[in-house]
């Protein structure tokens, strides 16, 4: 039998993480069994423990990868600065509260796909989720402050933090609700996304009356 190299083992491990990422988003962490994960990865059930001590350990690694990718996207948008398509926050909100994001939970942001799942998991998994939430709040608050300064508006750090909390809470809540009713009430789902998107984009630009 050919010997598995370190490179092969690393690829196999990443394959498990990738498959788990898709399943965790669509089925939830508890809804994705190890046997299903390994079958999707093209490996045997027993091979799982060559890479992870437990499913919980896999969940921690997957959630870390989720948020690293998602927060990386936020950082890329803020680095671009304002464009013809709008401010960085407006672009993030437009993309997040879109039908495309709603209809593709397997590749979507973990803030919504794991929002209901996180509280059922171990403290270690929940800590990763909390760290990801904090990353969003920090990034949002920093960008809200930058935009306020650019527009000559006063915004204290406490106000920026509070606005960031409200923004993240509404966008995640809207996505969870939109997905929850989409199959049977697609018009309602679109309405939820549209109303939240319009409100949040206006709020981010300092025009909450829009």
Q: Are 140 and 78 within 8 A, CB to CB?
A: no
Q: Are 87 and 142 within 8 A, CB to CB?
A: no
pLDDT digits (tens, 9 = 90+) for 117-162: 888 899 999 999 999 999 999 999 999 999 999 889 899 999 999 9
Give the residue with greater pLDDT, 143 vs 83. 143
* CATH C-level class of 55-204: mainly alpha
- Report, as an integer, the average pLDDT of 52-69: 92
Q: Which of 2-16, 86-100, 172-186 has the lowest mean pLDDT?
A: 2-16
Domain boundaries, the chain: 55-204
90-123 burial, b at 16+ Cβ within 10 Å, e below that, comes to: bbbbeebbeeebbeebeebbbbbbbbebbeebee
pTM: 0.86
- Tokens matching residue 190: 């679109």
Taken in order 118, 124, 130, 132, is the CA torsion positive or negative?
A: negative
d(CA 188, CA 145): 33
Computed over every residue of the chain, the mean pLDDT equals: 90
pLDDT digits (tens, 9 = 90+) for 42-57: 988 888 999 999 999 9
pLDDT of residue 2: 55
d(CA 150, CA 133): 26
pLDDT at 1 over 50: no
């Amino acid at each position: 039998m050919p010997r598995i190299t370190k490179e092969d083992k690393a690829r196999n491990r990443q394959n498990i993480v990738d498959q788990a990422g898709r399943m965790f988003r669509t089925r939830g962490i508890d809804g994705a069994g190890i046997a299903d994960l390994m079958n999707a990865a093209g490996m045997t059930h027993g091979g799982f423990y060559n890479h992870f001590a437990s499913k919980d350990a896999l969940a921690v690694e997957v959630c870390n990868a989720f948020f690293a990718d998602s927060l990386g996207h936020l950082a890329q948008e803020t680095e671009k600065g304002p464009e013809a398509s709008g401010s960085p926050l407006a672009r993030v909100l437009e993309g997040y509260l879109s039908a495309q994001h709603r209809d593709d939970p397997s590749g979507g942001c973990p803030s919504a796909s794991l929002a209901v799942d996180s509280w059922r998991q171990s403290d270690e998994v929940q800590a990763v989720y909390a760290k990801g939430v904090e990353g969003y709040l920090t990034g949002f608050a920093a960008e809200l402050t930058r935009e306020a300064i650019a527009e000559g508006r006063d915004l204290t750090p406490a106000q920026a933090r509070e606005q960031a909390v409200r923004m993240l809470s509404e966008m995640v809540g809207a996505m969870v609700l939109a997905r929850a009713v989409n199959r049977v009430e697609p018009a309602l789902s679109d309405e939820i996304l549209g109303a939240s998107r319009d409100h949040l984009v206006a709020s981010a630009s300092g025009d909450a009356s829009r």
